[in-house]
Amino acid sequence: MRLRIVLAVLLLVELLLPGLFAAGVPGVDRGVAEHVVVVVWDGMRPDFVTAEGTPNLYRIMTNGVFFRRHHSVYISTTEVNGAALATGATPGHNGILANAVYQPLISTTGPYATEGLDAIRRGDFLSGGHYIFVPTVAEILHKADYPTVVAGAKAVAIFQDRSARKLTDAQMASVTLFQGRSVPRSVAKTLARVNENKPFPPAISHPNTAQDEWTTKSLVKGLWAKGVPKYSVLWLSDPDKSQHDSGVGSPMSLTGIKASDVDLGTVLAALEEHKVREKTDLLVVSDHGFSTISDGTDVVGLLRKQNFAASSTLEDPEVGDVLVDDLGGTFLLYVINHDEAIIRRLVAYLQTTEFAGVIFSALPVAGTFSLDTVGYAATPQAPDLMVSLRWSPGTNQYGAPGLALATDGKPGKGSHGSLSPFDMNNTLVAGGPDFKRGFTNDTPSGNLDIAPTVLWLLGVQPTFSSSPMDGRVLREAFINGGVREPKITTKTVEASHEIGPFRWTQYLKYSEVEGTRYFDEGNGEFVKQ
């Protein structure tokens, strides 16, 4: 009898041992997948994942894991989240603060596009290779001798692996394709052959099917021709392009969503063709959500009416001039020489407006939050003020909820970048040998978590990273992730300021899991007491 018990215990240990190791037993800490593929649907909201409109994504969701409470990083725009997805670090830690920022060393006349190749090359030159302050997933994998492949219809894809200097075997075997260009440069010229001898389409269309399809074919028929590497990224431009042009839920945007699902199907078919589908963990994520513009906000014009020397560009700036950086649902204000009197006067005005939602300040000012509340360090590169525009849960003409003010576009069109929950709640669906089947994850998660999760799945530690990543490994979604439910803390912070018979008040709601903070929403209002 004792012998039978011993044999049964040994058999049980043999069955459970791989799972125990995968769950984090010292010595072995990784997934079982041999490949990880991340597909980004730019601007995809989770409420548009349906069996009819997105059959491939829906199939992965119902047979894998749906992350119901997934979060964009604020500012909820592409470049900020592109850097967060690549590094697992907040904007204050990775250095990419917005889609466009003002740094006189790179551009003296005003904000520049942070994903622009000239800015990247200049920034790396000036910083000794630290335009992005921390290593990316691709760079960490190269250090572990794993080649990577990145293909993006948008320029933001270059954040994953921007280095033009290829020294190691893994680096030389890696390719970054971004908006039809490539590093190394020669690769893009060869990809026309797998696209009916056509180069990358030069013009954006609505929906942007041609550019997305060209990029997808280049990945699966060209860059994967000799095999699927350990790590691949595909960044699609829709439904972002379509939603900007015609609004959330419009017929055009739904067509863009369907086109992205077709591209996802192309990726799945290629994995099957290479006989690695069952060995691949697939994560489909969006960089941010989306809102419908309720009205436009001309920040420069409004500030000038209040006698501020405001402009969107600089020619010969003087102390106290205000540079306005429009980012859709958020805008940044840079005050020349950080003039304190001007900053305080700006806040006093903003707190009486109907367009300001949440005000963040590098300088302590009543009724504001500090920049570091949302992961922005008060550094010389940071703005003096950052303002999320006001939003409401109302619906647009297509019945899609989520209305917001914006600095770009016209009423009825789409935008993002605010602290609206419709901008901050984005999509994450995952499936593969490491992920649970038919599981809805209600533990908060975010784009910050993608990088550490990918590295865990591949069994690679960020050994040459100077500090831990800000995101966490999404263990609760793994088959062998352990049974412990992470502790969730939710909190709402407020700031207010009495202005005569009126009162400005703003709030910020966030969740926290294992030290990682996820911003749910924030808004503000000016009311009579």
286 - beta bridge partners? none
Both 60 and 113 in one domain: the answer is no
CB atoms within 10 A of CB 51: 11
243 and 361 housed in the same domain: no
The H or E element containing residue 518 is strand 516-528
Going by C-alpha positions, the residue among 479, 443, 474 that lies closest to residue 456 is 474
309 shares a domain with 215: no
Report pLDDT for 464: 55
Which among 210, 213, 94 is positioned nearest to 159, based on CA atoms? Answer: 94
Q: Tell me how many helices (H) and strands (E) the chain has.
A: 15, 26
Range 91-127 burial, b when 16+ CB lie within 10 A, else e: bbbbbbbbbbbbbeebbeebbbbbbbbebbebbbeee
In a domain, 15, yes or no: no
- DSSP letter (8 states) at residue 478: B
β-pair partners for 235 = 40, 152
319 shares a domain with 345: yes
- pLDDT score for 527: 87
Please indicate, yes or no, whether residues 273 and 168 belong to a single structural domain of this protein. Answer: yes
- Do 370 and 517 sit in the same domain of this protein? yes
What is the structure's pLDDT at 164? 86
Cα(51)–Cα(70) distance, rounded to whole angstroms?
Answer: 20
Would you say residue 14 lies in a domain?
Answer: no
Q: Is 381 exposed, middle or buried (0-12, 13-18, 19+ CB in 10 A)?
A: middle
20 within some domain: no
> Residue 25: inside a domain, yes or no?
no
Q: Which two tokens stand for residue 354?
A: 């109907």
Burial pattern 61-73, b for ≥16 Cβ within 10 A else e, equals bbebbbbebbbbb
Residues 176 and 257 in one domain: yes
pLDDT score of 445: 98
Assigned domain for 217 exists:
yes
Q: CB neighbours (10 Å) of residue 354? A: 10
Residue 375 lies in a domain: yes
**Contact yes or no for 175/223 (Cβ under 8 A):** yes
pLDDT at 460 (0 to 100): 94
Predicted local confidence at residue 482, as pLDDT: 64
Beta bridge partners of 310: 322
- Note whether 112 and 230 are same-domain residues: no
Are residues 58 and 171 both part of a single domain?
yes
The strand ranges marked E within 399-501 are 401-406, 414-415, 428-431, 439-441, 445-446, 488-499
| Whether residue 225 sits in one domain with residue 241 | yes
CATH number at residue 185: 3.40.720.10
Considering the domain architecture, whether residues 57 and 141 belong to the same structural domain is answered as yes
Sheet containing strand 369-370, edge to edge, reads: 310-311, 322-326, 330-335, 385-389, 356-361, 369-370
For residue 521, being part of any structural domain is answered with: yes
Q: Cα separation of 385 and 362, whole Å? A: 6
| Cα distance between residue 452 and residue 472, in whole Å | 6
Instruction: Tally the domains of the chain.
Output: 3
Do 429 and 521 reside in the same domain of the chain?
Answer: no
One digit per residue, the tens of pLDDT, for the chain of length 529 reads: 332 332 232 233 333 333 322 333 233 378 999 999 999 999 999 999 999 999 999 999 999 999 999 999 999 999 999 999 999 999 999 999 999 999 999 999 999 999 999 999 999 999 999 999 999 999 999 999 999 999 999 999 999 999 988 899 999 999 999 999 999 999 998 999 999 999 999 999 999 999 999 999 999 999 999 999 999 999 999 999 999 999 999 999 999 999 999 999 999 999 999 999 999 999 999 999 999 999 999 999 999 999 999 999 998 899 999 999 999 999 999 999 999 999 999 999 999 999 999 999 999 999 999 999 999 987 778 999 999 999 999 999 999 999 999 998 899 999 999 999 999 999 999 999 999 999 999 999 999 999 999 999 999 987 555 678 999 999 999 998 765 788 999 999 999 999 888 999 999 999 999 999 999 999 999 987 7
φ/ψ region of 101 (left if φ > 0, alpha if ψ in -120 to 50, else beta) reads beta
Contact predicate 142/148, CB 8 Å: yes
> In this structure, which amino acid lies at residue 471?
G
Q: What is the pLDDT of residue 30?
A: 87
User: Could you tell me the residue range of the domain that residue 389 belongs to?
Assistant: 293-397+400-411+489-528
The neighbour count for residue 484, using CB atoms within 10 Å, is: 9
